[in-house]
Amino acid sequence: MKDGLKICTIGGGSSYTPELMNGFISRYDRLPVKEIWLVDVERGREKLETVGALAQRMWDKSGHDVKVHLTMDRREALKDADFVTTQFRVGLLEARIKDERIPFSHGMLGQETNGAGGMFKALRTIPVILDIVEEMKELCPNAFLVSFTNPSGMVTESVIRYGGWKRCIGLCNVPIGAMMSEPALIGKEMDDLVYRFAGIDHFHWHRVFDGATGTEVTGQIIDAMLNPKTEDDGTPANIHNIPFYREQLEHLKMIPCGYHRYYYLQSDMLEDGIKEYNGIGTRAQQVKEVEDQLFELYKDPNLAEMPELLSKRGGAHYSDVACESIAAIYNNSNTHIVCSTLNNGAIPDLPSDAVVQVSSYVGGDGAKPVAFGPMPTAARGYLQLMWNMQRLVEEAAVYGDYGALLEAVALNPQTPSGAEAKRCIDELLVAHEQYLPQFADKIAELKAAGVTVADPVAADLCARGL
């Protein structure tokens, strides 16, 4: 690749951008960035200008000659880019608030990437990422797409399956969070251990081995993470840390990711979520308060570094995985990174062309997945169910197929099928009308039949065009 890299970040007005800049700055000796283009939509202009100014101050403080460009013109930003990163949210945080509150109002989980909320985030996001891919084919055909946009697994699979773009990896900060926090539980450093992850995004498991002896230490970590005195077991900040059942994990012989709580501890997590829904507000409402505080900090012309408050946003270590992946591709270093990529036999329980989240060695030609082997009985059943559910959501997103959406609802453990689930789905369709043109005819039919949004907070957002 050429010297002086051009990075295009779509969703550049995100509160995560300072962490991304921090990651590039700390890796400048391995990643000679020359220009960074932050692009966003008109509705996000103010945030883009605020965070863009901070990004430039961070680069100026670093002493590296890097120019940060701000634009609403995606094509301008994509032109001749070497790497394209995505961190956008269609509909901004207001859409996430609706994704969470409407399901909770029907007694179901409201969560960013799980249940009905996760399905609708995919329905809004997949058509946009496919438009981006078409522009990349024209404007930067040799670029790598490094996607941090949720739901990361479904987005990555759609890029490859429907967009035909294989120069792509999907990322998530959950695995790196586990790898950074778990070693201390057994008196080790991260470099002392060998990690093997397998599953799909936000639905993966891992095993751990001692790098010197090859001895498996998964059981030791399980024992330590279930110790009541353990303060940090790697659970992301956005997930309530209700303990897993010891006997279940000992039988499983794998460590589940934090998001498995929504499935292994479904009633407990639902009860906790509904309590917040009726009290302090859903996670999205809490995040919005943190974001408002962050952007007030970002406006300070004397601030030239990533503020500590960003760690409360829920995306800790974002830059560690995103920037390290780009550095691995650029330098062809074959670095161990957990990412979403084509299965190619790594998990024999899923099709070879499925997109899975697995330990991979990332180099100049992308990700090479590491073979994990067959899953235990329960994990295999759950994994196959969830992957097939996601395939139906992707189909619904691409074709606007309401029948495929209902099939996905029937499979999803968080959306008990029946009249209540259908009412929830129909309300979400109406609530997100402006971002779901592929469902225009069905939404018109639902509105004509009198479907409205019942949750008062979500209804107010709809009334204000948000």
Q: Can you tell me the distance from the alpha carbon of 113 to that of 150, in angstroms, rounded to the nearest whole number? A: 7
Q: What backbone phi and psi angles, to 5 degrees, belong to 222?
A: -60, -45
Mapped onto helix, strand or coil, the DSSP state of residue 210 is strand
Sequence-distant (≥ 6) Cβ neighbours of residue 250 within 8 angstroms: 219, 222
Q: What backbone phi and psi angles, to 5 degrees, belong to 414?
A: -90, -5
Which two structure tokens, joined as six digits, stand for 254? 């794998």
Task: Look at residues 376, 324, 298 and name the one whose alpha carbon lies nearest to residue 85.
Answer: 324
Burial class (CB in 10 A: 0-12, 13-18, 19+), 451: middle
User: Is the bond preceding 243 in cis, omega lying within 30 degrees of 0?
Assistant: no
Which two structure tokens, joined as six digits, stand for 424? 């929830």
Render 311-358 in DSSP notation, one character per residue: GGGS-TTHHHHHHHHHHHHHHT--EEEEEEEE-TTSSTTS-TTSEEEE
Sheet holding 193-200, edge to edge: 193-200, 203-210, 255-256
If residue 147 lies in a helix (H) or strand (E), which one and from where to where?
strand 144-147
Which two structure tokens, joined as six digits, stand for 398? 């691409």
259 is catalytic: yes
Contact of 215 with 176, CB cutoff 8 Å: no
Q: Residue 229 carries which side chain, given as an amino acid letter?
A: K
Which two structure tokens, joined as six digits, stand for 197? 């992850």
If residue 34 lies in a helix (H) or strand (E), which one and from where to where?
strand 33-39
Q: Which of 16, 195, 259, 262 is catalytic?
A: 259
Mapped onto helix, strand or coil, the DSSP state of residue 3 is coil
**Helix, strand, coil tally for the chain in percent (to 5):** 50, 15, 35
By annotation, the residues acting in catalysis are 259
